[in-house]
Structure 1
Amino acid sequence: KVEIAAENFEKLVSTSSRLKKYLDSLQIPGVEELKSDFQSDKPEIRINIDREKANREGISTTDIGRALGTAVFGAEVSRFRDENDDYPIELRILKSQRNDVNALLGLPITYRDMSMGGQVRQVPLSSFATVEYSNSYAGIKRINQKRVVSISSNVLGGFNENEVVDKIKSKITSFSVPDDVTIKMTGAQEDQAETSSFLVVAFGLAFAMITMILVLQFNSISKPMIILSEILFSIIGVLIGFSLFKLEISIVMTGIGIMALAGLVVRNGILLVEFTDLLRSQGLPLKEAITEAAKTRMTPVMLTTTAATIGLIPLGVGLNIDFVTLFTELNPHIYFGGDNVAFWSPLAWTMIFGLIFGTFLTLVLVPVMYLLFTKLRERVFKKKVEPIESEVPSSVALG
């Protein structure tokens, strides 16, 4: 959707018309049909009032407008009530008469003639009104007090919406625009940009809170860095998975899935790093503690990932079960697909790809990074890293 905005109406109309013809001439692949919401040739019937004749009769334009409005659109004169609801009673002329201009010209206008002592009189509308047929604007939209014309189109199947929009943007840059006229992309792209900015802020806040909690828990900077690196590599796994299976990425649901994924992979990293610290506090050498922690924590990490992945697969493939008929007719009506797949599938596959990729990172990358960071700290501070002093009671440590 392209919005053209301007203060000068003539420039707005001419620019929007030129832009539509320009984009149509390019025949951009994926664009179904460009349509403008501005209509300049809408048929119109004008009823012109001879004010001099009307004033001579003592009839105001307000009386004429009210009579025509009641005749064509109707006016509520009462309401009918029953035991359940009430219904408006509207007064207006027959449909055949509403669509007949001659019948409208014969509409009697009732007024009180003060020159005849306040006598109520009726005169036909045609005695002081004439009809004129013409064309006019269907409507003028305004956004932020500026006149706006929108040009929009659907994207054909088999084409990526973002790629089509990028092509349109590149073509618009070479289109000559007057100084006081602005052109911008809106519609789904504008909503997508707003959603993306919100998710970036939300992810940044979540990342900051996770970092703060980890620093307070481990009283260290290197260990939170090891754990948080899993988030980055899990996102890489998500992108690899979507690329391999040629799935479409939804900005909203994929973003929510990444934030949910961050909590899961961080938890697995915490389990491994914390257990490694616990083994070192019991006197195990560094490499042995890392190896033993990876072996011990492999089972719970794998079980958690497997359970989550299996639970998300039905959501990803769109498995539908009718539980009502399952218990009443013993027929679950199982089928795959539906409208819910387009909404929930990106979230499910984001978490599935990220969990699978993040699990291997937890069991391989985290121990390696733990060893490297510990050796690096040993070289920087020129001293051997001693086993961590345990503040956990021995009974808990042995458990």
Structure 2
Amino acid sequence: TAVSAFIGSGPPRFYLPVNPEDSYTSYGQLIVNTETADDIDAVMAFITPWAHENRPQAMVRVRKYGVGAFDDWKVEARFSGPAEADPQVLRDIAARALAILEDNPLAQNPRTNWRQKVRKLVPQYNQERARWAGVTRDDLASATKRSYDGMLVGQYREGDDLIPIVIRNSDMERKLAAVELDAVQVIPSLSTNAVPVSQVIDGIAIEWEEQLIWRWNRRRAISVQVSPQGVTAPGLRNSILADFEAIELPPGYTLEWDGEYLSSLESTEGLIPGLVPTMVAMTLIIVALFNAFRPPIIIFAVIPFVTIGITFGLLTTQVPFGFIALLGAMSLSGMMIKNSVVLLDQVNINIAAGMDSYTAVIEAAVSRLRPVANAAATTVFGMAPLLTDVFWVSMAVTIMFGLAFGTLLTMVLVPVLYAMLFKLRPPDGKQPSNAPRSIEATGETA
């Protein structure tokens, strides 16, 4: 096991799905690499209670890196206002949203992307005395910056690296800069004689300021971020949706949902341009194949029922329905169409062989049951290895459970719908040939 530590900001983007964390003085990150994937859960199970017990005042998030694109915060609500919106108004709105999340047992680690305000020392510049001393505001700013942060005066090239040259006070003076700021020496631009800061200021005030102010589409915006606890992201969002939308916003302020909700919505909308022509092409091919309109109606009417199997599979395995699962459901529709086409084509073959329509449907369902079931079984077992893959598991569950249930449903529902749409009846008003015939008065089977 190896550990990498980053203080003040996140690591560089060493892995494509990782979003680098912005610089912030009170932020730190530990990246733990384990020997095997199974060790990750054990490490997380140890760190989480330890952090709550030993660092209760800190917000410690323990999470895995995702495979493929993922959102750092599963649920995120963004409140935005005008371009020059009052930051305090946005913070008040966010505070009401945070109060809702703190009362929700399904939410954990709520925060805002503006973080906390920071304190700053503000020398109160006295323009009259500063003019007599020849000290400008820029001179005062340069002196205070030099006393602690330091000033960039040049760069030193070492091979391919540029190393900044910074001039600043000694470590001892920097540690005392906050309490002895009035004694810092200011050198005027037009003079070589230094004067203390206390001669050009009226005093030193302590103020709170926003260290981060985010914008969205050129509007000031604050995002309330939270992680789900024991539920999926849609489950948490649905539990807070009504309360968030009930927050009264001033004129010009809006609420937008980000996070996993927006990512799924954008991914789904991206499929629509290709989905519509695909559905049209599939419909035309099926109509041309059977030269009729009722068989396509039967085929497409069966597809929605596979959601029963998909839902059962996802609930049983506790796998969320995401974008990858949606791709699996779309491919599953093609498999269902194939099964229905095979069955309906066999019906036409039986009718062409001289069977009546009613008997042809029954015989087709019986004769095609084994081939269709075997083909579905090979697909289901072929998807089984993907159950251990964190990226493809949702697609595997969707196809396996949906196809298994859909195959059985096809062999029952397609004949029923065919008989309904074509208004089939047993020949001569009698029951099917494989059913017991009516018993006459003599007690013998007819």
Work out whether 1:20 is the aligned partner of 2:98.
Answer: yes
Q: What is the aligned partner in structure 1 of residue 291 from structure 2?
A: 219
Matches of residues 10-159 of structure 1 in structure 2 within 5 Å? 10-21=88-99, 24=102, 27-38=103-114, 41-46=117-122, 53=130, 61=138, 68=145, 72=150, 74=152, 77-81=155-159, 86-93=160-167, 96=171, 101=177, 122=192, 124=194, 126=196, 133-156=206-229, 158-159=230-231
Letter in 2 for 1:14: D
Report deviation, 1:78.
3.7
Relative to structure 1, the CA distance from residue 75 to residue 236 in structure 2 (aligned partners, 3 Å threshold; closer, same or farther) is farther
Report the Cα distance in structure 2 between the residues aligned to 1:230 and 1:75, rounded to whole angstroms: 74
Q: What is the aligned partner in structure 1 of residue 373 from structure 2?
A: 302
Matches of residues 163-242 of structure 1 in structure 2 within 5 Å? 163-198=235-270, 203-242=275-314
Report the Cα distance in structure 1 between the residues aligned to 2:161 and 2:183, rounded to whole angstroms: 31
Can you list the C-alpha shifts for 1:348-391, whole angstroms capped at 9, x where unaligned? 111011111121133332233334433369xxxxxxxxxxxxxx
Q: Percent identity?
A: 22
Range that drifts further, 279-288 or 228-237 = 279-288
Does the 8 A contact of 1:265 with 1:355 survive in 2?
yes
Does the 8 A contact of 1:12 with 1:148 survive in 2?
yes
Relative to structure 1, the CA distance from residue 49 to residue 72 in structure 2 (aligned partners, 3 Å threshold; closer, same or farther) is farther
Q: What is the aligned partner in structure 2 of residue 250 from structure 1?
A: 321
**For structure 2, which runs of at least 5 residues remain unmatched after alignment?**
1-75, 426-446
Relative to structure 1, the CA distance from residue 140 to residue 197 in structure 2 (aligned partners, 3 Å threshold; closer, same or farther) is same
Letter in 2 for 1:136: E
> How many residue pairs get matched?
338
Report deviation, 1:15.
3.2
What is the Cα-based RMSD across aligned positions, in Å?
3.8
Does the 8 A contact of 1:106 with 1:124 survive in 2?
no
Report deviation, 1:202.
5.5
What SS does structure 2 have at the residue aligned with 1:308? helix
Q: What is the aligned partner in structure 2 of residue 365 from structure 1?
A: 413
Report deviation, 1:159.
3.2
Letter in 2 for 1:254: A
Report the Cα distance in structure 2 between the residues aligned to 1:80 and 1:199, rounded to whole angstroms: 51
TM-score with structure 2 setting the length: 0.63
Report the Cα distance in structure 1 between the residues aligned to 2:119 and 2:289, rounded to whole angstroms: 73
Can you list the C-alpha shifts for 1:68-120, whole angstroms capped at 9, x where unaligned? 58963646524222xxxx11121013683666536997578696x6xxxxxxx
Q: 1:285 aligns with which of 356, 365, 375?
A: 356
TM-score with structure 1 setting the length: 0.69
Matches of residues 262-277 of structure 1 in structure 2 within 5 Å? 262-277=333-348
Letter in 2 for 1:361: L
What SS does structure 2 have at the residue aligned with 1:186? strand
Report the Cα distance in structure 2 between the residues aligned to 1:251 and 1:103, rounded to whole angstroms: 56
Does the 8 A contact of 1:11 with 1:181 survive in 2?
no
Does the 8 A contact of 2:101 with 2:107 survive in 1?
no
What SS does structure 1 have at the residue aligned with 2:107? coil
What SS does structure 2 have at the residue aligned with 1:89? strand
Relative to structure 1, the CA distance from residue 125 to residue 354 in structure 2 (aligned partners, 3 Å threshold; closer, same or farther) is farther
Relative to structure 1, the CA distance from residue 151 to residue 55 in structure 2 (aligned partners, 3 Å threshold; closer, same or farther) is farther
Report the Cα distance in structure 2 between the residues aligned to 1:277 and 1:200, rounded to whole angstroms: 34
Report deviation, 1:275.
3.3
Does the 8 A contact of 1:195 with 1:251 survive in 2?
no
Report deviation, 1:214.
1.2
Report the Cα distance in structure 2 between the residues aligned to 1:48 and 1:124, rounded to whole angstroms: 19
Report deviation, 1:38.
3.5
Can you list the C-alpha shifts for 1:112-170, whole angstroms capped at 9, x where unaligned? x6xxxxxxx755584686665432122222212322222222222x2343333223222
Report deviation, 1:288.
4.4
Range that drifts further, 217-226 or 129-138 = 129-138
Report the Cα distance in structure 1 between the residues aligned to 2:364 and 2:111, rounded to whole angstroms: 63
Does the 8 A contact of 2:156 with 2:165 survive in 1?
no
Letter in 2 for 1:15: I
**For structure 1, which runs of at least 5 residues remain unmatched after alignment?**
114-120, 319-339, 378-399
What SS does structure 2 have at the residue aligned with 1:32? strand
Does the 8 A contact of 2:139 with 2:187 survive in 1?
no
Letter in 2 for 1:20: L
Higher relative contact order (CA 8 A, sep 6+): 1
What SS does structure 1 have at the residue aligned with 2:158? strand
Report the Cα distance in structure 2 between the residues aligned to 1:292 and 1:66, rounded to whole angstroms: 95
Does the 8 A contact of 1:20 with 1:34 survive in 2?
yes
Report the Cα distance in structure 2 between the residues aligned to 1:135 and 1:203, rounded to whole angstroms: 53
What SS does structure 2 have at the residue aligned with 1:154? strand
Q: Which one has a larger percent helix, Structure 1 or Structure 2?
A: 1
